[in-house]
Amino acid sequence: MTAPIDCDLHPVVPGIKALMPYLDDHWRDTVVRRGIEDLTTISYPSRNPLSFRQDWRDGSGRTGMDVKTLTAQALDPLGTQLAILSPLYGVQAQFSEDLGAAMTRALNDWIAKEWLDRDSRLRASIVVPMQNVAMCVEEIERLAPDRRFVQVLLLAGSETTLGRRANWPIYEAAQRHGLPIGIHAGSMFRHPVTAVGWPTTYTEDYINQAGAFQTQLGSLLTEGVFAKFPELTVVLMESGVTWLPAYFWRLTKFWKGLRSEIPWVSDPPTSIIRERVRLTLQPFDGPPDAASVMRLIEHLGSDEMILFSTDYPHWQYDGADPMPEGLDPGLAAKIMEENPLKTYVRLKERETTR
Ligand code: ZN
């Protein structure tokens, strides 16, 4: 059986104390002086059943806070060959750009030292301080020489739509370093998750993340990011999958009528998206049987778009196997290994050290 490449896992920051050694003196003092509490991952409240698999929780109600636990729970049982860590720790939600950038640097350095240095199967996303584009580029430049960082991580809930020109230096830097842009569910909490105000339940928040992904994909496409950066790949992470075929057919229909407005989008959105956009598998929101998955692939028009992921330590599938059952072995091998290797060029460099 193919050893999978897990494209979405979330190491959990045990608390702000873990990052203190990675903050410089000024910011360490600031955390103490201001009494800054943990930047809790409010997107994934600890007590929510989806946040952590129940039987993996430790006494604190959480898990995945160290390499040993994460590899024992997420990598070893599946025989995973490589895994891309994407920490979600609320650094993007800080209103101070400087504090956001300092926390982001600490988080990335903590990942390199406490995780990547300790298990050769691990890779990571570069978290960037989305509060400020220049600071994002600075962080990409700082970490890109470490080839274990394999993509740039953005959140779907950004302050402005991601296609806007102001964000283009991020894409320029990512393309130049061979780093895909990963857009993960989550938010800077500048806007409600819906276009018509704040929902009142976690269920609504969770289901409406797909709307944010649609907006971002439409923005990247119509503003011309794919045309301007022809080598850039975008990975939609934890977005679900089944909304995409209907969305891109709809987008293509309106493109046919309105394309004079966006002449730089010279190909139909369906073909651009098939070529340049990828999606992580979990949480898989289609029927889990092989026939339905095959129909979905048919609707997508490509079997190269889906990338294996567990979304550890979140748990959104039945049993122990994140893959839908009964898939054709060829398709399963593509999802588990071939598609990730094609998407993340740096994964092919197995013997990478800083
Ligand atoms: Zn995820």
Question: Which domains does the chain show, CATH number per domain?
Answer: 5-348 (3.20.20.140)
CA 237 – ligand 1 centroid, Å: 6
Which residues, given as ranges, of the chain have pLDDT below 50? Answer: 354
CA 99 – ligand 1 centroid, Å: 24
CA 47 – ligand 1 centroid, Å: 17
CA 10 – ligand 1 centroid, Å: 6
Give the residue among 117, 137, 136, 138 at the shortest CA–CA distance from 128. 136
Residue pointed to by tokens 């060829």: 330
CA 148 – ligand 1 centroid, Å: 19
Give the residue among 193, 75, 173 at the shortest CA–CA distance from 126. 173
Looking at the DSSP bridge assignments, the partners of residue 9 are: 85, 312
**Which tens digits make up the pLDDT trace of 268-298?**
999 999 999 999 999 898 887 889 889 999 9
Which pTM does this prediction carry? Answer: 0.95
Whole-number pLDDT of residue 41: 57
CA 238 – ligand 1 centroid, Å: 5
Residue 27 to residue 97: CA distance in whole angstroms = 13
How would you list the strands of the sheet with 234-237, edge to edge?
A: 5-9, 82-85, 122-127, 149-157, 181-187, 234-237, 277-280, 306-307
CA 170 – ligand 1 centroid, Å: 21
Residue 153 to residue 182: CA distance in whole angstroms = 5
Whole-number pLDDT of residue 354: 47
Whole-number pLDDT of residue 170: 98
CA 354 – ligand 1 centroid, Å: 26
Give the residue among 2, 9, 3, 1 at the shortest CA–CA distance from 309. 9
